[in-house]
C-alpha cells in the first residue's frame, strides 16, 4: 500500500466539442496546465464513437452510435491517465470500461478536473499485472 496526502487542490473546468477525442484532450489538458496529480471530479456529455476496454480483457466494447456519458472517473497527470467510463445507448443499455483513444465527442463533454499541487502521479510498468501502475510521491 502506498499513500500520500493532498491538501492543496484547485479545480479546472474543461468543455470539449464535437469531434474531440476525450482521452487525448485530457492528456493534452494535463500537459498544458502542468497537472502532475489530478482526478476527474465530475463529467457529463455524449460520445459519437465508442471504444472501451472491457474489464480483465483485451477486447473492447465499440459502437459508432451516440451514447450518453453517465459517469467518468479516474486519475490524470502529465505522466498518464487512467480513466473509467459508464455510458448508455438510446435504449438505456449501460456499458462501461477503461477509456481508450478513439472516443469522440458527439455534442459536448463538460468536465471538472481537480489538481493536487503537493502530490505527483507516475505510471510505471508492473510485470505482475502487465500494465503501467500508479506510483504516488509527495512533493
- Flag whether pLDDT at 7 surpasses 80: no
Return d(Cα 108, Cα 106) in angstroms, integer.
6
- Residue 79 C-alpha cell reads as 505522466
Cβ neighbourhood burial of 22 (10 Å; 0-12, 13-18, 19+): buried
- Flag whether pLDDT at 2 surpasses 80: no
The half-sphere exposure of 70 on its side-chain side, counting CA atoms within 13 A, is 12
What is the pLDDT, as a whole number, of residue 77?
Answer: 97
- Residue 125 C-alpha cell reads as 510498468
The continuous run of DSSP H or E covering 120 comes out as strand 119-126
Query: Cβ of 114: how many Cβ atoms within 10 Å?
Result: 18
Give the CA dihedral 95, 97, 99, 100, nearest 10 degrees. Answer: -100
Quote the mean pLDDT of the chain.
Answer: 94
- For residues 35 and 28, the answer to whether their CB atoms sit within 8 Å is no
What is the pLDDT, as a whole number, of residue 130?
Answer: 87
Name the band, by pLDDT with cuts 50, 70 and 90, for residue 6: low
**Domains recognised in the chain with CATH numbers:** 9-118 (3.30.1330.80)
Average of pLDDT values for 23-33? 97
Amino acid at each position: 500500500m502506498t499513500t500520500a496526502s493532498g491538501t492543496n487542490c484547485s479545480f479546472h473546468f474543461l468543455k470539449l466539442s464535437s469531434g474531440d477525442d476525450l482521452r487525448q484532450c485530457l492528456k493534452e489538458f494535463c500537459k498544458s496546465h502542468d497537472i502532475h496529480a489530478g482526478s476527474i471530479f465530475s463529467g457529463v456529455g455524449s460520445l459519437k464513437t465508442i471504444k472501451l476496454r472491457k474489464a480483465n480483457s483485451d477486447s473492447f466494447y465499440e459502437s459508432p452510435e451516440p451514447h450518453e456519458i453517465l459517469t467518468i472517473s479516474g486519475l490524470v497527470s502529465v505522466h498518464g491517465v487512467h480513466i473509467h467510463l459508464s455510458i448508455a445507448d438510446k435504449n438505456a443499455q449501460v456499458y462501461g470500461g477503461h477509456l481508450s483513444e478513439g472516443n469522440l465527442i458527439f455534442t459536448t463533454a463538460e468536465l471538472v478536473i481537480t489538481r493536487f499541487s503537493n502530490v505527483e502521479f507516475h505510471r510505471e510498468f508492473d510485470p505482475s499485472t502487465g500494465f503501467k501502475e500508479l506510483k504516488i510521491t509527495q512533493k
